[in-house]
Amino acid sequence: MKFELDGVGRYIPILVIALIFGALLGLQWKSPPARPTTVPGIEHESGALTIQRLEVEQEELKESIGRMREGLDKYRRELAANTEMLKEISAELERQKMMAGLLAVEGPGVQVTLDDSSIQSVPATADSGVYLIHEYDLRDVVNLLWMAGSEAIAVNDERIVATTSIYCVGSTVMANDTRLSPPYLIQAIGNPVSQEDILRNPAYLKEVKRKAELYGVQFKVNRMRMLSLPAYKGGFPIDYAQLGD
């Protein structure tokens, strides 16, 4: 019995050491990690510097935004001015194009019909020219219509513009380098009353009216509530003009 107690006694110190070591390990495992030691004054100073730096950056951003807004407002004002100027230029361009005959137009006016005589048997000794409509008859009517304040004129759907010439090549009447054939339909947009009054005035178109009365040449004038005239399709040849300095 003594042998057994002596054997257990030999292990008691080892058990005590093991228990103490285990307790120490348990305490270290449960203890929170140590926090770094900071100096209160230094931490406060660092935070103040950070706040000051952020305030400076915020002020710079505000100034930058202000400059950008001023630039945007200036751009908008310039854009509005340019837009208004562009509208004025576009309106003036459209007006000039209309005056030049480059736009199709419509409106009230008159329609003049000129045609050769319908008489079939012309005396052999007669002048056959008096039975025909000539290019100068067309020019006389067109010029008279301009005099009456017409705003746009077309002959057989050929728009008459400032550079248009109505001329004769042999027995062929030409306008805008296009061959015209009778009957000649002259359409003019303007005040129908003023146009018709001047066309029927005995002081004008005496030759056409004489041929109509004596030789059967057709000369008719009709008021029109609405006319549609095409745009000028030709070019504008320029031989001597050039841009100035």
Q: List, for residues 198-230, the tens digit of each pLDDT value.
A: 999 999 999 999 999 999 999 999 999 999 999
Task: Return the closest-CA partner of residue 185 out of 224, 127, 215, 234.
Answer: 224
pLDDT tens by residue, 20-40: 655 555 555 444 555 555 555
**Domain 105-119+127-226 homologous superfamily, CATH:** Protein of unknown function DUF881 (3.30.70.1880)
What pTM does this model have?
Answer: 0.66
Using CA atoms, how far apart are residues 25 and 22, in angstroms rounded to an integer? 5
Beta bridge partners of 179: 174
Whether cis (ω within 30° of 0) applies to the bond prior to 202 is no
